[in-house]
Structure formats: C-alpha cells, structure tokens
Amino acid sequence: MKRSEKASYVGDKLAELYPETPIPLDHSDPYTLLVAVLLSAQCTDKRVNLVTPALFALASSPQGMAKKSVDQINAIVRPCGLAPRKAAAIQGLSQILIDKHGGEVPKTFEDLEALPGVGHKTASVVMAQAFGFAAFPVDTHILRLSQRWKLSPKGGTVQRVEKDLKRLFSEDSWNKLHLRIIFYGREHCSARGCDGHTCEICGHLNGPPKAKRKRVAKRV
C-alpha cells in the first residue's frame, strides 16, 4: 500500500471515529489556552485540567498574571512537573504580552515562539486552535503513530514528521486531524497497548505480525 493510500485510509477512519474534535485542554480564550498548552509539556492534559481552575482563579489574563509572583504561580502548577520553570515562563510571557503586544496573544509563529516557554509545538496548537491557522502540532502520540503507520517512515524528529504529514494530508484537514490522531493514540494505540498490529488501523495497514521462525536445536 502506498503512503498516499495509507494516509487516505487513516484520514477517513479517524473522521469516522471522531467526527467531533474538542480541544482536550480547558480554556476560555487564547491566553488561557496558551498557558494550558505550556503546562501540558511532559504532563497529561487531564492533570493540567485539574490545575488550571485554581490558576485561572488566581489570574486569567496577562495583566493579572504579571502581577503575581513566580512563587504564587509555582505553588499552584507544581503537580504539572517542571513547575519552577513553567511558573517563571507564565509570569514572564504575561509581562511580555503587556509590554509588546498590547496584552493580547500574538497571531504569528515568530512572536509566539519568542515568548518564554513557548516552542514550535505550543505555538502550533495556539495558532491552530485559537486562531484557526492551518498547523500540524506533533506530540508524542503523533510521533509514535506516524512511524507505526509508516506515514513518516524515516521519522526521528518532530520537524521531519510534521513535514511528512503536511505533505500527505490536505491543509484544510490539519487542525482536526492532529487531534484525531491524539485521541486514537490514547484510546486504541498507546505505546504499550499496541505492537503495530493489534489495533484496527495498525491491523489494516500492517497486517498480522509475521510468525517467528522456530529455532531447531542442532543435533550433537
């Protein structure tokens, strides 16, 4: 099966399984989404959603958050891991949004990635989900499944996988598709829950696992 045929099957199957693509991180506007995505680095969305209500009760805007100390923020976000670094980034980017962007989240990759704690993946999520810009954020699920499904056979890096997937899928599908792949990876094709043949999509694309040849002991 050609890669283009695999991509077509994957896109159709995931659209069938997940017609709706709600954003997994609770938020109310681009700023709270930005903060939530920043907190989700090396942390589950479920845990972030448990933490952000208290954080956004403390402050839910750049103007409010910039007035809080890093220690205040850190005390709340500690369960998310890497808390001191994330707390400093949240306080710092809030002040930068006030100083350089009129208190608004910028709508360009360049400006977003210049903010503390904001890498390309975080910027991609914000651009796609807050502003509707076509982007293909690559997380660990997408990295794993793109190689398991041989959509990015060489893979290896987030940059390479993102480039390969953008070539295979139409631009108007990116924003929903990246979420659909994440949903499927969590529910059906986890790192330990599928060996590349167990789940429905892997089974269709890769077929049954090859039988291992039995080793015959040599006669002495």
Residues 111 and 144 in one domain: no
Active-site residue, from 139, 150, 166, 176: 139
Residues 120 and 141 in one domain: no
- Residues in CB range of 93: below 8 A, 6 or more apart: 34, 38, 62, 115, 116, 117, 118
Structure tokens at 216: 């015959």
Asked if residue 80 is part of any domain, the answer here is yes
Q: Is 139 marked active-site?
A: yes
**End of a domain among 113, 129, 145?**
129
Instruction: Compute the distance between CA of residue 94 and CA of residue 117 in angstroms, rounded to an integer.
Output: 11
Residues 35 and 125 in one domain: yes
Mean pLDDT computed over every residue of the chain:
93
**End of a domain among 78, 105, 129?**
129
Instruction: Compute the distance between CA of residue 154 and CA of residue 117 in angstroms, rounded to an integer.
Output: 28
Residues 96 and 52 in one domain: yes
Contact 5, 170 (CB under 8 A): no
Residues 118 and 35 in one domain: yes
DSSP of 39-58: HTTTS-HHHHHHHHHHHHHH
Residues 116 and 34 in one domain: yes
Q: State pTM to two decimals.
A: 0.89
Number of domains in the chain: 2
Instruction: Compute the distance between CA of residue 28 and CA of residue 80 in angstroms, rounded to an integer.
Output: 20
Residues 93 and 155 in one domain: no
3-state helix/strand/coil string of 107-121: CCHHHHHCCCCCCHH
Contact 111, 30 (CB under 8 A): no
The CA dihedral of 108, 140, 150, 16, to the nearest 10 degrees, is -80
Residues 170 and 111 in one domain: no
CATH number at residue 76: 1.10.340.30
Residues 144 and 175 in one domain: yes
**pLDDT band at 209, cuts 50/70/90?**
confident
Please determine, for residue 58, whether its predicted confidence score (pLDDT) is greater than 80.
yes
Residues 99 and 118 in one domain: yes
Residues 152 and 99 in one domain: no
CATH number at residue 143: 1.10.1670.10
pLDDT the model gives residue 220: 40
Cα 50 from chain centre:
18
State pLDDT tens for residues 107-164. Answer: 999 999 999 999 999 999 999 999 999 999 999 999 999 999 999 987 778 999 999 9
Residues 118 and 147 in one domain: no
Beta strands in 62-207 (DSSP E): none
**End of a domain among 129, 159, 178?**
129
What is the domain range of residue 172? 3-20+137-206
Which residue has tokens 């291992």?
212
